[in-house]
Structure 1
Amino acid sequence: MTAKDQTLHYLGTAPNGWAVNETVADITRSPLPPQIITLPTASKTLRLDLAKTALLVIDMQNDFCHPDGWLAHIGVDITPARAPISPLQTLLPKLRSHHVPILWVNWGNRPDLLNVGAATRHVYNPTGVGVGLGDPLPMNQARVLESGSWAAAVVDELTIEPGDICVDKYRMSGFWDTPLQSILQNLGRTTLLFAGVNLDQCVLVTLQDASFLNYDCILLADCAATTSPDFCRESTLYNVNQCFGFVADSPALLAAMGDRP
């Protein structure tokens, strides 16, 4: 009779995995080593744990941020949408070095648009004859915000590294009809940093939903932008600070991590 293997084998993703063998299941879920930092924000000084933190980069895609993309095609000045590129180029490597997950939450529709309702499609093609979701861009025939297309790809200036996580969304909120909530729960991340475009639309709505789901929300103001009028940005910053979380910036975060921009 052979002795049973008593080695424990890890299943799942830290800190929410189990250690198991033939006779034992260790479900204690040991926490990750804490990385406590102190971050000044517009309202309060925060103490937070980087081991419980993730960054959501929302919609930094060609359709929103590239001169050949969809917004530019319909006459929108995309210059403001490109403003987060530079601070993110500095911030992302530093966060990765502290093992903070980077989640790219991007609009990436099914080719058949079967899970996108008419009301959502109307927002982006109100006459029904324009270039809307899934339609080819005249410049290069890339299909607007279709998963896998050039139009939906992250701009070349920002690099998705192998350890990053990509989540397709199909409307303004990154939480509805997506695996984002499950991923964050498996990662044990309860503090969320927010970046991307448009600040007053997809970034704000995703942050609001995160707040309603009891995540701690921190908007990085210099890493988020909008092509909307200035009053939309001001209103968003006010409401995030007043109702949904905290407003900080990437230089303060870098300094709190012991780095400098």
Structure 2
Amino acid sequence: MNAMWRVNPKNTALLVIDMQNDFVLEGYPMEVPMARRRIPQMQEVIAECRAAGIPVVYSRHVLLDTFDVSPLESTYNPALLTAGMRSGTSGVEIVDELAPEPEDVVIPKHRYDFFHNTPLETVLNSISGLRQVDTVVIIGTLTEVCCDSTARGAYMRDFKVAFVADATGARSEAAQKATEENIGTFFGRVLQTRELVAEIRESTEGRAA
């Protein structure tokens, strides 16, 4: 997809998808090594967005012990019936390296798509003023599952999507590349961290001139 639009900090929010201990730390139930390796790029994106005044919104994928809140998810992955992303455990917390700050928003979800049955759309429609946000930047994990689902959900709600390729982590390089191709062809723009930073700074410097 051609760059028919560029990231404007005034109209943008950053979505940090599921960068939780259970997904990231070595030996934890849903470990995604690529997500762990890409923490430095995610840190750069978050820092750049905060510096530019872009709101930062985190998702936390949460499952329950009291009942199976995501039954099809556990049907396809039965291990989730007994371990992983349990409410009230340290596994659902955001990794220390990307810890939310007090002004950030953290929203739990029970489905892959961050928009599904959560207040995310309400937050985006108000966090920078009434319906000011029209663009979302997506980083986090899993690239091919929750990041992809959220990108599609954003597109279906008429948000422009900036998908940061080197700040998202998949279970394999093949899955990463396939998702990047699909997003870039149909649902948004696929950028590298350096490209996103350049666009943010270009817009910020333009406003200051």
Structure-2 residue corresponding to 1:123: 76
**Alpha-carbon distance in 2 for matches of 1:111, 1:184:** 30
Q: Does residue 162 of structure 2 align to residue 218 of structure 1? A: yes
% same residue: 26
Preserved CA contact (<8 Å) 1:53 1:191: yes
Letter of the 1:223 partner, please give it. Answer: A
Preserved CA contact (<8 Å) 1:62 1:68: no
Structure-2 residue corresponding to 1:234: 177
Preserved CA contact (<8 Å) 1:147 1:168: no
Structure-2 residue corresponding to 1:248: 191
Structure-2 residue corresponding to 1:79: 33
* Residue 117 of structure 1, CA deviation: 4.0
**Alpha-carbon distance in 2 for matches of 1:132, 1:47:** 39
1:180 is aligned, of 120, 143, 146, to: 120
Structure-1 residue corresponding to 2:111: 171
**Alpha-carbon distance in 1 for matches of 2:67, 2:38:** 29
Structure-2 residue corresponding to 1:89: 43
TM-score (norm 2): 0.87
Structure 1: give runs of 5+ residues left out of the alignment: 1-41, 73-77, 126-130, 137-143
1:67 is aligned, of 21, 26, 51, to: 26
Partner-residue secondary structure (3-state), 1:202? helix
**Alpha-carbon distance in 1 for matches of 2:105, 2:93:** 14
| 1:33-112 map, 5 Å | 43-44=2-3, 46-72=5-31, 78-112=32-66
Q: Which is higher, the Rg of structure 1 or of structure 2?
A: 1
**Alpha-carbon distance in 2 for matches of 1:106, 1:121:** 17
TM-score (norm 1): 0.70
* Residue 113 of structure 1, CA deviation: 3.5
Letter of the 1:152 partner, please give it. Answer: V
Letter of the 1:234 partner, please give it. Answer: K
Letter of the 1:92 partner, please give it. Answer: I
**Alpha-carbon distance in 1 for matches of 2:30, 2:85:** 11
* Residue 121 of structure 1, CA deviation: 1.7
Structure-2 residue corresponding to 1:153: 93
**Alpha-carbon distance in 2 for matches of 1:164, 1:111:** 28
1:194 is aligned, of 138, 153, 162, to: 138
- Name the CA shift for 1:117/1:250 in 2 (closer, same or farther; >3 Å): closer
**Alpha-carbon distance in 2 for matches of 1:159, 1:173:** 21
Letter of the 1:84 partner, please give it. Answer: R
Structure-1 residue corresponding to 2:205: none
**RMSD, matched Cα:** 1.9
Higher share in helix: 2
> How many pairs does the alignment contain?
198
